Amino acid sequence: MIRDITLGQYFPGESGIHRLDPRVKIVMALTYIVALFLVKDFWGFFFAVLVLSIIIKASGVPLKFIIRGLKPIFIIIIFTFTVNMFMIGGEVLWQWKFLHITREGLFIAVFMAIRLILLIIGSSLLTLTTKPIHLTDGIESLLKPLTVFKVPAHELAMMMTIALRFIPTLLEETDKIMKAQMARGADFESGNVIRRAKSLIPLLVPLFISAFRIAQDLAMAMEARCYRGGKHRTRMNAIRIRKGDYVAVFLLILFVVIIVAEPSIKGLLV
Amino acid sequence: MSIKVENLTHIYAEGLPHQQVAIEDISFEIEDGSFVGIIGHTGSGKSTLVQHLPGLLKPNSGSIIIDGEDITKKEGSLTEIRRKTGLVFQYPEYQLFEETVAKDVAFGPLNLGVSMEEAERRVGEALKQVGMDVKLVGDVSPFELSGGEKRRVAIAGVMAMEPEVLILDEPTAGLDPKGHHDILELVEKIHKAKGGITILVSHNMADIVNYADKVLVIEKGKLVMEGTPLEIFKREDELIKMDLDIPPAAELIRTLRERGLKIKGNPMSVKEAVSAIYEAIKP
Amino acid sequence: MDQVSLKIHKGSFTAVIGSNGSGKSTLAKNINALLLPTSGAVYIKGMDTRVMEYLWDIRQSAGMVFQNPDNQLVSSVVEDDVAFGPENLGVEPLEIRRRVDEALKSVNMYDERKSGPHLLSGGQKQRIAIAGVVAMRPDVIIFDEPTAMLDPKGRKEVMTIIKTLNSEGITVVLITHFMDEASLADYIYIMDKGKVALKGSPGEVFSRVEEIRSYDLDVPLAVMVAEGLREKGIDVPTHIVTVKEMVDYLCQ
């Protein structure tokens, strides 16, 4: 059930990918996502899949684990696929009453689905191979230059750390409250949209109260441990750029060049 | 009213790498009128076990026969099963959500589809059972009550379903000594008044000795002991080996015996312990 | 809280007992300036908690462990959570590492240092919280009902750690409503309705059985047994309050 969601989880390991500087990995993931939008044909995707497979292999994260992470967003993928397939005009391949599938529609639907899947795998690979704490450290460090423009880099990073820490706690809490209300005859599954939305009140009210209680307790505990924002703070594991990171950045640049230049390379070959 | 559990097994995340056998091949029977204590470590599977009884979890195999009906085979709505078997979760006050105490207690009965008048009657009745007066607290927000009172309202919320089996999962967790004592006295009073079956999941061995007439010991997902409190706590070496407690009075007697004091019998409560010690040391 | 005065000596083990709503948690939060007194004053190592410039020194000297083992851990990795306090104090990275390892070893959780809190038991989480405070090198640790939400096994683990820390020189203030825990202390304060109702050594306090019951509290097992034996005509001395003392007395 709720426990099975792997999206955003960390998969412990000691691989080269795990050891990369989180900042490098964040930039890599962002670049990969942007690159996916630059891809114009299936050859580009082929290359993107190839690169992703190599990274997955190198990270040592089992493919099964990654694919399970796709499950919760499977509905979104199906939805966009269906919408694209039926909504785009062009050469009609199949028709039934007002529904029709066109060659262009099918092409775009497949194209978009691949893009979406790669996008999700690419970004989940970032969280799978990076400890949450390093991820937030990386974001804080990358955002640091923006503090000049009053961007609260440290606060944002701390909020993320805490959110990641309390996701399992809140999921457990949700599971418990749901069962407790079901024991009192609550029904979360049947009825129309309005009825269902209404049936969520016995779940959401206690959940919000729990979240507030946690927040209050945590704020108190953090204050007691001398937390006073980012100033004066040191870090036990300060993040450092190492040799592997330079290699990764070089490969990243190479990847971008190939993706951008791919249509012209193909032109040269054909 | 009777409960019969046969070869019950529940596996979390079956087939996935982190699959976990929560309970395995558990069988037992509970007769009408019993007050059953379930003991075991946190994570031993006792909470998983009790969540099966009102059909909140489905077993991977095995059956649960309540009043002659196998609830694991039942198709469709589980409402009737959930009415028959009330489960009070740990820290039940965290599930309160309505604006007023009366509305919160009425949530269960209304879900069962009873009439407004009937729900009102049950609210009054259930609050009375937990030692509260609907006239005084009915219109109060449950969030304005003290911790102990909130918990009693939450128990009333389950009582209002008029269950024949009442299960309480560590109902005194986090309460102070008076709150602890009050809740247990209440549970005993309810058990005597309504009959049926009461199941108490607890870490407190003194409470088990004082209230239960039958004890189940769950260890690593298996039912390892079953019997009267005396039969169970007599096997103190086995319990200690499992890192479980024995009643504090029995533990004192055990230590005294280790130090060479000759004490007769199997005292479990403080009163029994005092008499036994007196017999051993009287001039 | 109303007109409460008390003094806690360096290296001692003080227990504060009271039923819910007796003001014992408020007292605890006043000790390290999480709350400030409306009137009166609190001094830690001579520092007045109302003086802003002492605030961080006070919180470093007087660490606090709370009731809920889940809601006080900040990070999803055990060792990073323990590092949180020293990081806030601006300690050098290598020194933090040393303190974190030391603190985790002192609560027997070093092997779980890479684990996530949601995979640990309540007792283990509470030991991590203690390590997080120990790593700040405090003089005193205030435990605000640290075992209230734990099972017997977790409760024993935490009490053993508290006793060990105290024997290593850390001043302990234990807020609790478990009498058997309080009977391990050197000195006991019983709070009732915001006031100090009783104080003294465990022997002195627990000899007043009727009074203690009138504050809605239990008495320790050994005291109950001693009371029962006295009724039967055996003259058990009143200083016997722990099971160990009772056993020693009966088997002398």
DSSP A142-158: HHGGGGGGT--HHHHHH
What value of ipTM does the predicted structure carry? 0.91
Phi first, then psi: give them for residue A18, nearest 5 degrees. -60, -35
Q: Is residue C5 part of a domain?
A: no
How close does chain A come to C126, measured CA to CA in Å?
Answer: 13
Please list every residue in chain A whose beta carbon sits closer than 8 Å to the beta carbon of residue B92: 180
Interface test with C, best of B18, B182, B255, B274 (most C CBs within 10 A): B274
Contact A16, A244 (CB under 8 A): yes
Task: Please state, rounded to an integer, the average pLDDT across all residues of chain A.
Answer: 85
**CA–CA separation, B72 and B65 (whole Å):** 8
| pLDDT by residue, tens only, chain C of 252 residues | 889 999 999 999 999 999 888 999 999 999 999 999 999 999 999 999 999 999 999 999 999 999 999 999 998 889 999 999 999 999 999 999 999 999 999 999 999 998 888 889 999 999 999 999 999 999 999 999 999 999 988 999 999 999 999 999 999 999 998 888 998 999 999 999 999 999 999 989 998 989 999 999 989 999 999 999 999 999 999 889 889 999 999 987
**Nearest Cα residue to C7 out of C219, C171, C192, C164:** C171
The pLDDT score that the predictor gives to residue B22 is 92
> Domain total for chain A?
1
In the structure, what pLDDT confidence band is assigned to residue B109 with cuts at 50, 70 and 90?
A: very high
Q: Which residue in C180, C234, C247 is closest to B278 by CB distance?
A: C234
**Nearest Cα residue to C230 out of C202, C252, C249:** C249
**Nearest Cα residue to C221 out of C182, C187, C189, C185:** C182
Query: Is residue B1 scored above 90 in pLDDT?
Result: no
Which tens digit of pLDDT belongs to each residue from B36-83?
999 999 889 999 999 999 999 999 999 999 988 899 887 777 888 899
Containing structural domain, residue C55: 13-219
Q: Is residue C243 part of a domain?
A: no
The pLDDT score that the predictor gives to residue A1 is 40
Which tens digit of pLDDT belongs to each residue from B158-187?
999 999 999 999 999 989 999 999 999 999
Number of C-alpha atoms within 13 angstroms, CB side, residue A229? 3
Output the pTM of the full model.
0.86
Determine the distance from the C-alpha atom of residue B181 to the mean position of all C-alpha atoms in its chain, rounded to a whole number: 15
Residues 62-91 of chain B whose Cβ lies under 8 A from any Cβ of chain C: none
How close does chain B come to C8, measured CA to CA in Å?
Answer: 25
Contact C80 A238 (CB under 8 A): no
Contact A181 B94 (CB under 8 A): no
Please list every residue in chain C whose beta carbon sits closer than 8 Å to the beta carbon of residue A213: 71
Determine the distance from the C-alpha atom of residue C194 to the mean position of all C-alpha atoms in its chain, rounded to a whole number: 19
Q: Six-digit token pair at B48?
A: 């998983």
Please list every residue in chain C whose beta carbon sits closer than 8 Å to the beta carbon of residue A131: 77
Q: Is residue A47 part of a domain?
A: yes
The pLDDT score that the predictor gives to residue A78 is 87
Residues 99-118 of chain C whose Cβ lies under 8 A from any Cβ of chain A: 100, 114, 116-118
In the structure, what pLDDT confidence band is assigned to residue A191 with cuts at 50, 70 and 90?
A: confident
Q: Is residue A103 part of a domain?
A: yes
More confident: C148 or A165: C148
Q: Which residue in A4, A62, A185 is closest to B111 by CB distance?
A: A185
**CA–CA separation, B254 and C250 (whole Å):** 13
In the structure, what pLDDT confidence band is assigned to residue A208 with cuts at 50, 70 and 90?
A: very high
Q: Is residue A173 part of a domain?
A: no
Which tens digit of pLDDT belongs to each residue from A43-69?
888 888 999 999 999 998 888 888 877
Q: Which residue of B has its CA nearest to A188?
A: B111
A142's CB contacts (< 8 A; 6+ apart) are: A23, A26, A27
CATH number of the domain where residue C170 is located:
3.40.50.300
How close does chain A come to B228, measured CA to CA in Å?
Answer: 29
More confident: A241 or B207: B207
| Other beta carbons within 10 Å of A74 | 10
Which tens digit of pLDDT belongs to each residue from B258-272?
999 999 999 999 999
Contact A209 B83 (CB under 8 A): no
The pLDDT score that the predictor gives to residue B140 is 96
Q: Is residue C250 part of a domain?
A: no
A159's CB contacts (< 8 A; 6+ apart) are: none
Contact B267, B250 (CB under 8 A): yes
Interface test with C, best of A2, A10, A172, A225 (most C CBs within 10 A): A225
Containing structural domain, residue A29: 2-130+240-269
Full DSSP string of chain A: -GGG--TT------SHHHHS-HHHHHHHHHHHHHHHHH--SHHHHHHHHHHHHHHHHHHT--HHHHHHHHGGGHHHHHHHHHHHHHH--SSEEEEETTEEEEHHHHHHHHHHHHHHHHHHHHHHHHHHHS-HHHHHHHHHHHHGGGGGGT--HHHHHHHHHHHHHHHHHHHHHHHHHHHHHHHTT--SSSS-HHHHHHHTHHHHHHHHHHHHHHHHHHHHHHHHTT--SSTT---TT-----HHHHHHHHHHHHHHHHHHHHHHHHHHH-
The pLDDT score that the predictor gives to residue A161 is 84
Q: Six-digit token pair at C142?
A: 């205030």
Residue that has been written with the tokens 């409306």 in this structure: C38
Q: Is residue A43 part of a domain?
A: yes
Number of C-alpha atoms within 13 angstroms, CB side, residue C81? 32
Q: Is residue C53 part of a domain?
A: yes
Pairing, β C13-17 against β C171-176 = parallel
Q: Six-digit token pair at A91?
A: 């050469």
Contact A179 B161 (CB under 8 A): no
Q: What is the mean pLDDT of residues B116-141?
A: 95
Q: Is residue C248 part of a domain?
A: no
Residue that has been written with the tokens 């409190």 in this structure: B229
Q: Is residue C191 part of a domain?
A: yes
Interface test with B, best of C71, C209, C232 (most B CBs within 10 A): C232
- β-pair partners for B217: B39, B225
**CA–CA separation, C178 and C193 (whole Å):** 18
In the structure, what pLDDT confidence band is assigned to residue A2 with cuts at 50, 70 and 90?
A: very low
The pLDDT score that the predictor gives to residue A5 is 52
Of B14-28, B86-100, C191-205, which range is least confident?
B14-28
> Domain total for chain C?
1
**CA–CA separation, B273 and B275 (whole Å):** 5
Contact B130, B159 (CB under 8 A): yes
Long-range pairs, A106-110, Cβ under 8 A, ≥24: A108/A84, A109/A80, A109/A81, A109/A82, A109/A84, A109/A85, A110/A81
Contact A137, A47 (CB under 8 A): no
Domains and CATH numbers, chain B: 1-76+164-235 (3.40.50.300), 92-162 (no CATH), 247-283 (no CATH)
Please list every residue in chain C whose beta carbon sits closer than 8 Å to the beta carbon of residue B173: 149
Number of C-alpha atoms within 13 angstroms, CB side, residue B156? 32
Query: Is residue A4 scored above 60 in pLDDT?
Result: no
Q: What is the mean pLDDT of residues B211-217?
A: 96
Residue that has been written with the tokens 């990764």 in this structure: A248
Which tens digit of pLDDT belongs to each residue from C81-125?
999 999 999 999 999 999 999 999 999 999 999 888 888 999 999
